[in-house]
Amino acid sequence: MFGLANNSDINVLDQFFQELMGYVVQNENNTFNFNKTSGNANVNSLLAKWKTQIDELDGRNKDDMKVLGEMVITADKVEQGIYKCRVHSQTSNPMVNTLVHTVNKMIDSLDRDMTQLRTIVEQYSNDDFRNKVTIDPKIKADMLAVMTSVNSLGEALSNGAKTNLTNGQHLESNASTMSDSVNNLANKANQQA
């Protein structure tokens, strides 16, 4: 196929391979820029074909890096408690796209749970204990403990409010009885006087 390769052709192929290894394995370069040729047309054709395939791979790698960079920025925001961010970049790499989908789904879940927790706690702070946090059966570990604790807090606050209301009603009833007794005593004292 190649005819006889001379030392120059072999040297060019070796340089091509070393450049490729610097690009792929050692990350010495962020692009693959091999433009040398040999005296053999068949070798030059092969090098051009390889270069085209490597350029396509380079484009896919850059798309992957863009997605991964956006993922890092998104993860940093989530770490700060910002749950409205999502990864929007796409790539032709199905594994990276699966990772994007999984990360976005995780953030959706966190956003939904935190919004619900915030809403319920705000209601509790306004003495409205009617609602509870809805706990998805998939929730486990710490998030389950937090959500369950918020629901328990709501029940305790509701029971405390009911107890205070009952005590207040008893006090009001006792105060009314006492007032009636004082008025009755005053009337009898006035009659005797």
3-state secondary structure of 80: coil
Cα 75 vs. chain centroid, distance in angstroms?
7
The candidate with the shortest Cα–Cα distance to 134, out of 148, 155, 124, is 148
Global confidence as pTM: 0.68
List pLDDT tens digits, range 112-159.
Answer: 999 999 999 999 999 899 999 999 999 999 999 999 999 999 998 888
d(CA 110, CA 94): 24
Type and span of the H or E element at 17: helix 7-24
Using left for φ > 0, alpha for ψ between -120 and 50, and beta otherwise, residue 147 falls in alpha
Q: Is 177 helix (H, G, I), strand (E, B) or coil?
A: helix
